[in-house]
């Protein structure tokens, strides 16, 4: 498999192959790139970022992210779940929006503080 390392702006082109001695990474210029290639091949994960609806028209969306990388195969399920949610204001940056989201073990936290509802309903 071929990947572009995204750990730093160099963007090294990695080739990753399974061998009898284990997964071999080529093309990296540093140990971080080797680890990235191995992880990407064995268990690719992503931090999920999204915006959930609020019940207030003044701030219709609240930005959120996962507190740890989620297995790539589970990202769609997490996003579908988050896009169905509606939260009430206020929300505080760092506060929990959803725990163990979709059984991934990752919690979803708000990344911005939004003030109490101004009384306007959702659009
Ligand atoms: S392998 Fe190392 S130098 Fe190359 S992009 Fe990845 S982190 Fe940067």
- For 41-91, what is each residue's pLDDT tens digit? 999 999 999 999 999 999 999 999 999 999 999 999 999 999 999 999 999
* CATH fourth-level superfamily of 49-110: CPE0013-like (3.10.530.10)
Ligand 1, pocket-test mutation among 29, 37, 38, most atoms within 8 A of CB = 29
Specify the ligand 1 atom closest to the Cα of 8: 8
If you measure from the C-alpha of residue 48 to the centroid of ligand 1, how many angstroms do you get, rounded to a whole number?
A: 22
Q: State the pairing for strand pair 45-46/70-71.
A: antiparallel
- For 85-123, what is each residue's pLDDT tens digit? 999 999 999 999 999 999 999 999 999 999 998 765 555
The CA-based diameter of the chain, rounded to the nearest angstrom, is 64
Domain-wise residue ranges, the chain = 2-42, 49-110
């Amino acid at each position: 498999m071929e990947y572009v390392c995204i750990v730093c702006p160099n963007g090294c082109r990695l080739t990753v192959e399974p061998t009898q001695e284990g997964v071999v990474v080529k093309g990296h210029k540093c140990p971080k790139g080797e680890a990235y290639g191995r992880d990407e091949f064995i268990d690719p994960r992503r931090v999920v970022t999204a915006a959930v609806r609020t019940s207030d028209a003044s701030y219709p969306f609240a930005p959120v992210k996962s507190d740890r990388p989620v297995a790539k195969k589970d990202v769609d399920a997490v996003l579908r779940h988050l896009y169905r949610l509606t939260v009430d204001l206020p929300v505080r940056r760092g506060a929990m929006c959803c725990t163990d989201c979709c059984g991934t073990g990752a919690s979803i936290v708000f990344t911005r503080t939004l003030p109490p509802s101004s009384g306007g309903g959702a659009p």
